[in-house]
């Protein structure tokens, strides 16, 4: 017992030292904030945060796991930004949706989150200055692209400044503790689609109802004792629901990609992605001619998607993601060549490539 007490005292002493170091760090952060304010420089720099996390994890040779280290430092960085200037982030709401969870993973809990009812409102909040940043879903590995997000970029001048790649884990939530008593299941249409096989095998005959979000589904399940929701673990905590079954999605590799939008343009990090949108001339071989410069420059295109322009019949807008930054010579040269065969071209942003979290 004496040895245990001695070890606990060592832990207490280390914790005291950590608190002292965090206070010293906060003092320096406030000084940095004062300089940024005087220079009218932006307070939040995602490229700088990425550099910090990569440096710390590369230097971590101890027993503390890197994933946990990243999570802790995201909160330290989030709190640090709030000391400089409170950060307002708009996201598709209500709170406890997967979009909110993605925003939390990226900005930390010290940011002020402004949940709204539509992707359009997220864009409007950032455009009007109600929020510095917005987080919107762009595609799911199983269900494909979120077309409304793509459509919003056509008329918006906002830039993509980061991407968040979130592993989606669906859970069956309810006030009940006995799954057999469930009479109705709520979820967002994508949540229901991604769990269709599990529902057919395990909840046959139980009607499923669509909701505007997984968080709204959890809210309904909290009000209706014989109902359940398909939602994330954060919704269970927020609405005080029991997790009856975990990971009920049919495909365990279920990943959703989100984009962070802003009026700013991030600096190059060396591990970046560039997104562009364009429309092409209506002639044979036009798409081939447009893509040829990328092949010649050996630029990896990670995504290509087309959408009707909604301005002229049979006219399409293409959305393309590529590895590299617009500041890279070969990327710039390829995009300059692209202009020659396009009716319309817009660079949506160059930003750090995300990793699954």
Do residue 92 and residue 132 come from a single domain? yes
Q: Annotated catalytic residue: which of 258, 278, 294, 319?
A: 258
Looking at the structure, do residues 217 and 160 belong to the same domain, yes or no?
Answer: no
Check whether residue 219 and residue 195 sit in a common domain. Answer: yes
Classify residue 71: in a domain, yes or no. Answer: yes
**CA distances (Å), 75 to each of 69, 82, 232, 300, 302, in order?**
10, 11, 21, 34, 31
pTM over 0.75: yes
Whether 190 is covered by a domain: the verdict is yes
The count of domains in the chain is 4
CATH of the domain at 111: 3.40.190.10
Q: Are residues 12 and 78 in the same domain?
A: yes
Residue 267, domain member (yes or no): no
Of 58, 84, 110, the position where a domain reaches its end is 84
CA–CA distance, 142 with 257 (Å, rounded to integer): 11
- Annotation marks residue 258 as catalytic: yes
Contact between residue 151 and residue 320 where contact means Cβ atoms under 8 Å apart: no
Please report which residue ranges of the chain form alpha helices under DSSP H: 2-39, 46-59, 66-84, 98-107, 119-127, 147-155, 189-194, 196-202, 214-223, 233-239, 286-296, 329-339
Instruction: Give, for all 357 residues of the chain, the pLDDT tens digit.
Output: 668 888 889 999 999 999 999 999 988 988 888 888 888 777 777 778 888 888 998 898 888 888 888 888 888 888 887 887 778 999 987 888 899 999 998 898 888 999 998 899 999 999 999 999 999 999 888 777 888 898 899 889 999 999 999 988 999 999 999 999 999 999 999 899 999 999 999 999 999 999 988 999 999 999 999 999 999 999 999 999 999 999 999 988 889 999 999 998 878 888 899 999 988 877 777 788 888 889 999 999 999 988 877 666 557 788 999 999 999 999 999 998 888 778 888 999 999 888 876
Report d(CA 16, CA 34) in Å as an integer. 28
Query: Tell me, what CATH number does 278's domain have?
Result: 3.30.70.260
In this structure, what CATH number is given to the domain that contains residue 57? Answer: 1.20.59.10
Q: Which of 97, 99, 214, 256 is catalytic?
A: 256
Q: Looking at the domain assignment, is residue 357 inside a domain?
A: no
Nearest Cα residue to 136 out of 84, 193, 97: 97
Report d(CA 74, CA 106) in Å as an integer. Answer: 7
CA–CA distance, 166 with 105 (Å, rounded to integer) = 9
Parent domain of 22: 2-84
Do 80 and 109 share a domain, yes or no? no
Residues 152 and 97 in one domain: yes
Domain assignment present for residue 282? The answer is: yes
Whether 164 and 175 map to the same domain: the answer is no
The DSSP secondary-structure symbol of 356 reads: B
């Amino acid at each position: 017992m004496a040895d245990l007490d001695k070890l606990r005292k060592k832990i207490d002493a280390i914790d005291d030292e950590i608190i002292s170091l965090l206070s010293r760090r906060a003092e320096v952060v406030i000084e940095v904030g004062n300089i940024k304010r005087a220079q009218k420089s932006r307070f939040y720099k995602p490229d700088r945060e990425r550099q910090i996390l990569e440096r710390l994890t590369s230097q971590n040779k101890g027993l503390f796991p890197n994933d946990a280290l990243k999570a802790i430092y995201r909160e330290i960085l989030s709190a640090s930004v709030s000391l400089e200037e409170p950060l307002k982030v708009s996201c598709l709401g209500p709170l406890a949706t997967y979009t909110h969870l993605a925003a939390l993973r990226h900005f930390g809990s010290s940011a002020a989150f402004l949940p709204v009812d539509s992707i359009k409102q997220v864009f409007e909040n950032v455009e009007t200055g109600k929020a510095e940043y917005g987080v919107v879903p762009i595609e799911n590995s199983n269900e494909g692209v979120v077309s409304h997000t793509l459509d919003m970029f056509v008329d918006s001048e906002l830039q993509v400044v980061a991407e968040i790649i979130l592993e989606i884990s669906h859970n069956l939530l309810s006030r009940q503790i006995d799954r057999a008593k469930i009479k109705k299941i709520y979820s967002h249409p994508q949540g229901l689609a991604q769990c269709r096989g599990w529902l057919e095998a395990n909840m046959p005959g139980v009607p499923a109802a669509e909701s505007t979000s997984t968080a709204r589904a959890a809210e309904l399940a909290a009000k209706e004792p014989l109902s359940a929701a398909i939602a994330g673990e954060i919704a269970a905590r927020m609405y005080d629901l029991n997790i009856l079954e975990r990971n009920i999605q049919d495909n365990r590799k279920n990943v959703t990609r989100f984009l962070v939008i802003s009026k700013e343009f991030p600096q190059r990090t060396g591990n970046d992605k560039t997104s562009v949108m364009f429309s092409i001339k209506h002639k044979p071989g036009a798409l081939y001619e447009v893509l040829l410069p990328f092949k010649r420059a050996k630029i990896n295109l990670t995504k290509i998607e087309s959408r009707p322009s909604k301005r002229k019949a049979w006219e399409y807008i293409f959305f393309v993601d590529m590895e590299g930054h617009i500041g890279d010579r070969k990327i710039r040269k390829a995009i300059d060549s692209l202009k020659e065969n396009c009716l319309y071209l817009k660079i949506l942003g160059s930003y750090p490539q995300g990793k699954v979290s």
